[in-house]
């Protein structure tokens, strides 16, 4: 058997995308690339914070005590601890949060949302929600929105079967 014959087994061929699959994939890829930048631009323009900073402040604002361990924030925002640490340092410098070492073994740290941080996320929320409505919610039908939710949950369950994603309180 020649080398060409050895590699031409149809079972060894990739399952190439059909034109319809490729079109859907490229639309989804463009959305995942462009949407975060668009959300970032709106929040920077209106509140002087990035989308990631907003997510960090938002996660903390939803806690009754406005406190959460850094590793849990990283998980909730799909971030590395390193990225979160740099962002927390910046937010701390602006007086929007403070960090506190958790007593005991290990290097665990809590992030605590300050009143200024809470005020910032509360001020940012209306404009952010209006922008989300403009670019997504109002751009699709209620049926498409329900399907988008189903698609998102289905794909996320293949990426992270634990189900520990932002928004796990989805109905």
Strand, helix or coil for residue 152: helix
Helix axes 115-135 and 19-47, enclosed angle (nearest 10): 140
Backbone angles phi, psi at 120, to 5 degrees: -65, -45
* Cα–Cα distance measured from residue 88 to residue 54, given in angstroms and rounded to the nearest whole number: 11
For residues 66, 68, 114, 91, the Cα torsion angle rounded to the nearest 10 degrees is -140
Q: What is the pTM of this model?
A: 0.83
Give the DSSP per-residue string, 71-115: HHHHHHTT--HHHHHHHHHHHHHTTSEEEEEPSSSS--EEEEE-H
Of 1.10.10.10, 1.10.8.80, 3.30.70.3270, 3.30.200.20, which CATH number belongs to 42-123?
Answer: 1.10.10.10
pLDDT (tens digit, 9 = 90+) per residue, 15-26? 999 999 999 999
pLDDT attached to residue 6: 52
Q: How confident is the model at residue 143, as a pLDDT?
A: 97
Distance CA 77, CA 168 (A): 12
pLDDT digit string (tens) for the chain, length 171 residues = 445 555 566 678 899 999 999 999 999 999 999 999 999 999 999 999 999 999 999 999 999 999 999 999 998 888 999 999 999 999 999 999 999 999 988 889 999 999 999 999 999 999 999 999 999 999 999 999 999 999 999 998 898 887 766 555 434
Question: What is d(CA 97, CA 115) in angstroms, rounded to the nearest whole number?
Answer: 8
């Amino acid at each position: 058997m020649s080398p060409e014959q050895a590699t031409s087994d149809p079972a060894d061929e990739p399952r190439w995308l059909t034109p319809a699959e490729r079109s859907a994939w490229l639309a989804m890829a463009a959305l995942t690339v462009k949407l975060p930048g668009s959300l970032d631009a709106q929040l920077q323009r209106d509140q002087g914070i990035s989308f990631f900073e907003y997510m960090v402040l938002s996660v903390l604002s939803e806690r009754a005590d406005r406190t959460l361990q850094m590793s849990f924030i990283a998980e909730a925002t799909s971030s590395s601890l390193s990225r979160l640490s740099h962002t927390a340092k910046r937010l701390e410098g602006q007086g929007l949060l403070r960090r506190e070492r958790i007593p005991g073994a290990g290097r665990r740290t809590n992030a605590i949302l300050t009143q200024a941080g809470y005020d910032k996320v509360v001020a940012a929320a209306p404009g952010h929600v209006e922008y989300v409505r403009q670019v997504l919610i109002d751009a699709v039908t209620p049926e498409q929105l329900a399907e988008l939710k189903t698609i998102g949950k289905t794909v996320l369950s293949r990426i992270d079967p634990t189900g520990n994603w932002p928004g796990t309180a989805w109905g």
